[in-house]
Structure 1
Amino acid sequence: MKLRTRAWLTLSLLALTTMTAVASLGYGLLNAQMERARVAASDQGQAVLNAIELDIQRAASEIKTWSAVSDVTGTAADAGNRAKAQALGRWESQRYLQSDAAKFLRDLSLLSERRFKEIFFTDARGYVVASTNPTSDFDQGPEEDPPMGEIWWRDARANGWNIGELEYDQSSTFYSIDISVSLTDEKSFVGVLKAVYGTSAMLAILDQATAGHGGHVVLVDGEGKIVLAPSHLSAAVGNEAMQVSQLKAFTGDAGHSIESVPWGGRSLVTRVQPASRTYVDQAGWTALTVIPLDQALLPASARQQLGFIGAGALTAILVALVLAGLHLNHHSSGPITELTQAVARAARGRADVTVPHQDAGGELGALAQWLARVTTRLRKYDAAYARQRRRVQATRSPANDAIAATRRRA
């Protein structure tokens, strides 16, 4: 084999090897970015669950501290000695909102940075004694709701304290959680203190949570209904049309998948379960982190890397094609020409190339077999890379559509 032919084949195979490396690197970059996005999403979901759990537990501890203050327990004990008619008259005239005890509760609300939308306490019968806001009912106890009163009142009396479920509270007109603590005076039960923990603190946590580029976290109940979402997705809360009960990330064992979410198109969705025996776990909540697919797979840095490497590969391929043209002008027939043409087709991106003369002996046969192995690997990487690219290109965002429309008009 002439020196010139060997030199050309070496350069051509070098270009083809570069193509294979670029395809492999591009596919690897996409997979690596996907894994980074999944880990970031999982970490962010866990961080949100932990932050919400800590905030609820802090709120419960704060309320327990209030329940030991004599301004509360002493007033509840004294109120228990009033006749029902007198207690009802105070409630109907709203004196329970103007008493010293009510002012004390408002001070507590200010000290807690208004995380509680409503604070009130009852006497041992369940009659409202003092409150920061007007209450919808006067009697929270067994007389009004036999046999043991409202659930929160009953459980607080029986167990010492109670944290309720997330629900819409008519008195405070917010989604909230009831936290109630029993009141004792000289070891005797004298009433129950209830604070309505508003979701504003949890919303602040969700609004501050970010995952990757444009990701967000929502809390979902056991049926797949969104119970809490960032402010810009408030319409999704409780919306049956936006339930996630059919998402693979929610129902599958893997805990993550790429799929269309009702409010955000194709996205990387990751499920995170709360730690066992926490309030969030008992409530049956799950954190779903959602990252739009076009932002999860190819951040700007990856695009720049692929563009830079791709430019180098195209330059190498172009050099090989020029050399191929020069060589073909001098050698128009024979096994070397056929092998040269196969190399040129592979360099142009043809993954279906059939390499001739693999059964030939000597250097030519060995070279043809090596080239066949390289094209097989190239075909595999090219197919995998194309699948990933189609996934990204299939994802359309309003911002991308607007940019594309502007370019078309220009």
Structure 2
Amino acid sequence: MSSRTQQLRQSFLLTGSVSALVLVMGFALLASRSVTRIVERQANERGQDVATHVASLVGMYLQERRREAEALARSPAVVRAALDGSQQAISQRLPQLDTPTLERMFTQRHALGGDPDLAAYLRDYTQRSEFAELFFTERHGYSVLGSKRTSDFVQSDEEWWRRAAADGIYEGTPRYDSSAAAVSLEHDVAIRAPRVTAAVGVLKAVFALDRLSKLLTATDVGGGARLQVVDAQGRLLIGGGGGGGGPNPSDLLHPISDAALIPRLERADTATVPGPAGEELVVTVPVDNGKWWVVFRQPKATAYAAARTTAASIVLWTVVLFGTTLALLFAFWRRLNRRVTEPVKAAGAIASRVAGGDLSVTVVTERTGAAEVGDLLSSVHTMVVALRRLVGAIRTAADEAAAMATEISASTEEMSASTEEMSATCQDLTKRAAEQAQLVRAGADDATKILQIATILAAGAEDSVRRNTAVADVARRNKEVLDESTEHLAKLAEEVNRGAAEAEALARASSEIQKFVTQAKAVATQTNMLALNAAIEAARAGPQGRGFAVVADEVRKLASVAAAGATETADTVRGVLGRVQAMRDRLTQLAHGTDVARGAAQTAAQGLGTVAAEAQASDVWGREIAKMAGEMRTLVEEISARLGSVAQGTETLLASAQEIAASSEEQSASTQEIASSANQLAEAADKLTGAVKSFRLLADEEPPPQQQAAD
């Protein structure tokens, strides 16, 4: 018993520990993987957000420089200077000379020259803008004016000049500017005069990307991350180190070491590439329609540090949870051992002593933690007390059996005399019992038929009740659903009417906006006319009015932009007005359909209410019928049971009478056998008394000494 209890304890502890370990480790593994995926996805999204923001900054910077160069090319002063340069070249018959001759002629200044104020303006413009160099040519490709001396006088043999003159705009490949220690980019724009189809010249604007490089260098994205800008060939254009470190000038316009591994797609993408200090998280975002890419780089160990920290915390808490679980299992095992195992072990020892014949054992029925164990000890105590009483009763019965054996011998003589009388009486009783059995059997058969009919009627009534109840429930549920649908349709109709009113108000507001746009277009037209008149007056004023001409041209541009914006706004307002009208018509149709559906739902709800009321009334009648049928079936069952009992009793009485008649004949012959059996009973009582003496009883339950002496 002790070894089996120990095995049970060990099995319980081992099973509980293994189960707790499996559950805790499974939870830790799932939680660690889930948290790691979430934190890594957040790190990727952060890198993509930073790269997207930087890409938007680079794109806006390039777009601003291009618009600035195009505005300079459209400047009236530049257009006039290009036209004057063309007239000067034709008057000097320069197009008839070859390029080497022209280069020798203009070896000192490399330009035709022109308005000194415009030349000073270009030089000053490069000082206060992002452009490092500005110059323009006339239509033959001869340099006219610039911010500084150009390397060649004739530019028509250059590819950038031919492409810009033919296409209108040309953007050269990035080049390294040693003076700025950064990559520079040129933007060439064709100069066009009003009412002239061909270009009257080409403006070349060169700007360095050192401003962008400083911006990226100053951008501290944290976590050892750095930003770069590369082109389609993977060459480094702009580079920024984490924490403010700048790029190495010798690396500019050279392919980065891992260019083949970095994705350069038309959308933002994420990859992991090997780096000098381990794997790096790389996020690329396209810039300028896929010509350049912003590259966000961060060591993977730094980017995913939060994921590793979280996973370590989960493992630590898992260990703590496992230890707590083991402690709880040990405490539960101790409690089980104290409140269940030890009381059960004591009950087993008591059962062993009782099996050995010791009924003097005392059972301690103290209160335990488990009600079942207390009940077990109480049952063992009750069993021991009952065995004591049984053994005492057996001893007493054995004494009484010996005395009864003597009395039986005397009674056998009286039994022989009464046997004859009993035989005659039994024959008459047998005849009457047979007649009564036939009558009772016929009544029982009739009661059985009535019971079958009552059962069928009760089953039909119960089935009718169930069906009526089901119909009433279905009708009631559908009515509730239709009532809810009617309320929702009413609310929907109100919302639709409110939406139609708001659409009408929006249409009126759009009309007011359209009036304002018309007035803005009229103001822009008047402003454009005033700017044109101012330009004419400035041209009449000569050199003194050139500065005013530039201002007038800017005013005219502003008026053109305002007119274009007003036109676009008017088109947008008309489109919004048309959509608002269409929405108002649709809302009106929806309100009409909602009213029709609400009416139909109300009609259906009333019909279902009537069906539910009728089904409920039918259910009441069906229940009454089922109740009466059940009472009738119960009454018939009782009658049938009673007739069956009477029939069975009659048959039993008949059989008993027959047996008594037969046994009365045998009773005389068995009188001697009874006397012999009485002697054997006395001997058996002596043996039983000797066997019961082997049980040990308490002192207060021992038989009296005189009774033991008599035995």
**Aligned 8 A contact 2:176 2:183 in 1:** yes
SS of the counterpart of 2:192? strand
The yes-or-no answer on 1:30 pairing with 2:47 is no
Provide the rounded CA distance (Å) in 1 between the counterparts of 2:309 and 2:71.
56
1:5-404 pair list within 5 angstroms: 13-14=19-20, 16-80=22-86, 81-82=88-89, 83=92, 84=94, 92-93=108-109, 99-111=116-128, 114-141=129-156, 145=157, 150-168=158-176, 174-188=182-196, 189-207=199-217, 213-230=223-240, 232-234=246-248, 235-240=250-255, 242-247=256-261, 249=263, 255-261=269-275, 265-274=278-287, 279-281=288-290, 283=291, 285-299=292-306, 302=307, 305-320=310-325
Structure 1 residues 71 and 97 mapped into 2: Cα distance closer, same or farther (>3 Å)? closer
| Higher-strand-fraction structure | 1
Provide the rounded CA distance (Å) in 1 between the counterparts of 2:181 and 2:18.
73
Give, in angstroms, the shift of residue 58 of structure 1.
1.6
Cα displacement string for residues 159-211 of structure 1 (whole angstroms, at most 9, x for unaligned residues):
22222222236898752221111223444443211111211233245335565
Provide the rounded CA distance (Å) in 1 between the counterparts of 2:207 and 2:268.
34
**Aligned 8 A contact 1:221 1:286 in 2:** yes
**Aligned 8 A contact 1:33 1:298 in 2:** no
Structure 1 residues 53 and 161 mapped into 2: Cα distance closer, same or farther (>3 Å)? same
Give, in angstroms, the shift of residue 157 of structure 1.
1.3
**Amino acid in structure 1 at the alignment position of 2:148:** N
Provide the rounded CA distance (Å) in 1 between the counterparts of 2:177 and 2:159.
14
Provide the rounded CA distance (Å) in 2 between the counterparts of 1:167 and 1:100.
31
SS of the counterpart of 1:238? coil
Q: Percent identity?
A: 22
Structure 1 residues 224 and 164 mapped into 2: Cα distance closer, same or farther (>3 Å)? same
Give, in angstroms, the shift of residue 296 of structure 1.
1.1
Provide the rounded CA distance (Å) in 2 between the counterparts of 1:293 and 1:135.
49
Provide the rounded CA distance (Å) in 2 between the counterparts of 1:265 and 1:221.
25
**Amino acid in structure 1 at the alignment position of 2:28:** V
Give, in angstroms, the shift of residue 3 of structure 1.
9.3
Moved more, 115-124 or 265-274: 265-274
Give, in angstroms, the shift of residue 269 of structure 1.
1.9
Cα displacement string for residues 23-51 of structure 1 (whole angstroms, at most 9, x for unaligned residues):
32222222222212222223333333332
Provide the rounded CA distance (Å) in 1 between the counterparts of 2:308 and 2:183.
43
Moved more, 287-296 or 204-213: 204-213
Cα displacement string for residues 85-108 of structure 1 (whole angstroms, at most 9, x for unaligned residues):
899766614786993222111333
Give, in angstroms, the shift of residue 297 of structure 1.
0.8
Give, in angstroms, the shift of residue 132 of structure 1.
1.7
SS of the counterpart of 2:141? coil
Structure 2 residues without counterparts, runs of 5 or longer: 95-100, 335-711
**Aligned 8 A contact 2:102 2:154 in 1:** no
**Amino acid in structure 2 at the alignment position of 1:26:** S
Structure 1 residues 77 and 254 mapped into 2: Cα distance closer, same or farther (>3 Å)? closer
Structure number with greater Rg is 2
Moved more, 91-100 or 33-42: 91-100
**Aligned 8 A contact 1:41 1:212 in 2:** no
Provide the rounded CA distance (Å) in 2 between the counterparts of 1:216 and 1:110.
30
Q: Which residue of 2 aligns with 1:353?
A: none
**Aligned 8 A contact 1:37 1:212 in 2:** no
**Aligned 8 A contact 2:36 2:308 in 1:** no
**Amino acid in structure 2 at the alignment position of 1:318:** G
**Amino acid in structure 2 at the alignment position of 1:286:** W
Structure 1 residues 320 and 170 mapped into 2: Cα distance closer, same or farther (>3 Å)? closer
**Amino acid in structure 1 at the alignment position of 2:108:** E
State the TM-score, normalized to the length of structure 1: 0.62
**Aligned 8 A contact 2:263 2:284 in 1:** yes
**Amino acid in structure 2 at the alignment position of 1:54:** M
Structure 1 residues without counterparts, runs of 5 or longer: 330-410
**Amino acid in structure 2 at the alignment position of 1:92:** Q
**Aligned 8 A contact 1:12 1:317 in 2:** no
| Higher-helix-fraction structure | 2
SS of the counterpart of 2:74? coil
**Amino acid in structure 2 at the alignment position of 1:179:** H
Provide the rounded CA distance (Å) in 1 between the counterparts of 2:116 and 2:57.
36
SS of the counterpart of 1:177? strand
SS of the counterpart of 1:317? helix
**Amino acid in structure 2 at the alignment position of 1:201:** R
Give, in angstroms, the shift of residue 228 of structure 1.
2.9
Give, in angstroms, the shift of residue 227 of structure 1.
3.2
**Aligned 8 A contact 1:212 1:291 in 2:** no
Give, in angstroms, the shift of residue 140 of structure 1.
0.9
Provide the rounded CA distance (Å) in 2 between the counterparts of 1:169 and 1:233.
14
SS of the counterpart of 2:153? coil
Q: What do you get for the CA RMSD once the two structures are aligned?
A: 4.1
**Aligned 8 A contact 2:181 2:210 in 1:** no
Structure 1 residues 43 and 290 mapped into 2: Cα distance closer, same or farther (>3 Å)? same
Provide the rounded CA distance (Å) in 1 between the counterparts of 2:227 and 2:289.
15
Provide the rounded CA distance (Å) in 2 between the counterparts of 1:133 and 1:244.
40
SS of the counterpart of 2:233? coil
Give, in angstroms, the shift of residue 323 of structure 1.
6.8
Structure 1 residues 104 and 212 mapped into 2: Cα distance closer, same or farther (>3 Å)? same
Give, in angstroms, the shift of residue 326 of structure 1.
8.8
**Aligned 8 A contact 1:249 1:256 in 2:** yes
Moved more, 150-159 or 162-171: 162-171
Structure 1 residues 66 and 98 mapped into 2: Cα distance closer, same or farther (>3 Å)? closer
Cα displacement string for residues 305-345 of structure 1 (whole angstroms, at most 9, x for unaligned residues):
4454444322233345567889999xxxxxxxxxxxxxxxx
**Aligned 8 A contact 1:163 1:178 in 2:** yes
**Amino acid in structure 1 at the alignment position of 2:251:** A
Provide the rounded CA distance (Å) in 2 between the counterparts of 1:198 and 1:171.
10
**Amino acid in structure 2 at the alignment position of 1:314:** V
Give, in angstroms, the shift of residue 130 of structure 1.
1.8
**Aligned 8 A contact 2:31 2:314 in 1:** no
Provide the rounded CA distance (Å) in 2 between the counterparts of 1:322 and 1:11.
10
SS of the counterpart of 1:223? coil
Give, in angstroms, the shift of residue 158 of structure 1.
1.5
